[in-house]
Structure 1
């Protein structure tokens, strides 16, 4: 869209965006406006932009009035719009002398037939019109790429009225902005008829995606105060497992030793008992509590070692006697026989 700040900025030459519009521009000297030349006074309200779709004499267009947008832009601008001579204000920067105004647009109204403006004419302009030195009034407005008229910038008294299509600033700036918009449309792979607003919206989507990706990346950053390297974590876990295994083994060893001292385990059963106590400490404790004593308590066995047959029977021999149901005397005699042989 040809556009700039709502304030009327510097202009583009007439031939840059000119629309011949004799069929549309207002004839300020027509009978509908002035009853007679003798009593002529410039009209206070003038019809500047027609409603609906319209085109210029030179074929530019079609254009379509967005009356609501034009009224809102004027209200946002908050100042009068100029009416000049032959659109000289559009090239005011190139003028060596003053560029006087013919009047000022004080108010806009949206009516059924388009945009109307209340103009406060200067005495000089009123005299020019009364002398028929000027006759036509031609508006200056802005439009987007689709031809939608969105902003009024002023008007000009002219001999050969045309619709002037205002660009962003000067002609050079206009071309630069339009070239930039076209390049962005190509780079963003947008439809060729896209407006600057479409380009801005697409760029905003890209910015939003980048911001989201950056926020996600920051959320994934590791806080050294809360995280440790995996190798260190693995080493600590291995040390903990080793400590737990050692404690379990010591507990199993202690439980088996206690059971053996109580006479509930023979020495030959020690390996089985340790395996059981290591895998299921509670199960082994329950078994040891309920198991009958198959050997005298350790204190009793110590006393028996000094009793008779102590010279021939070992502690293991006596346990074997109990398991086999043999009398120690018979076992000792048999043992002596084996030794002699």
Structure 2
């Protein structure tokens, strides 16, 4: 293959809000590139990742391949990590700069295009280290049209977030959602128990009547602070006995003698 580099545009919707990642390359053969036919294997993808990991710089995301044509270019984002997933190479961690995000959100640019070098020369020892990713660009002229999804409406970026996830990512997301549901339920149960304890304690202290329990619990669930404030300000009241607890039945005359009278509290 006689060329300096291959520029490949992966046609898919950039998902800025979910995961900040996108596809960079895939396994396959292409015959119609302007620089001639080329092929990418799984070994090539792994080699790209290794060379990226060994490098001391992040991968630049420029505009319309300015880094290729001008030798350098303003960054619109930075690739922080790569990941090989089956037969695909993904930029799994991306830092988008604000002006890069604005171009994509405004639909001025829709696609990503990696510049792939098949025969990279190590600058230290001059060895051929094989496939590397030279740079990546925002572009509107994709080459590999069969590799991705064309954006056809204004909602595509938002709608594609879940569809672009791998099975492993979906499984992790589902597990996290279940954990959140469990923690939420446990929190609600604990708060309900705390409110019930508060109300029971107030009833035991004769600050509120037992008949008020359900309504007070309802108040506590809706506004815990209001319940706490109400119970804190409530004063204990004297409950009129409805049984014989305050009377003595063990007198020799078989008559009930009020202990309040015996104590001199009530004369009679």
Instruction: Give the structure-2-normalised TM-score.
Output: 0.43
**Larger fraction in strand:** 2
> Which of the pair has the greater relative contact order for Cα pairs under 8 Å at 6+ separation?
2
Pair member with larger Rg: 1
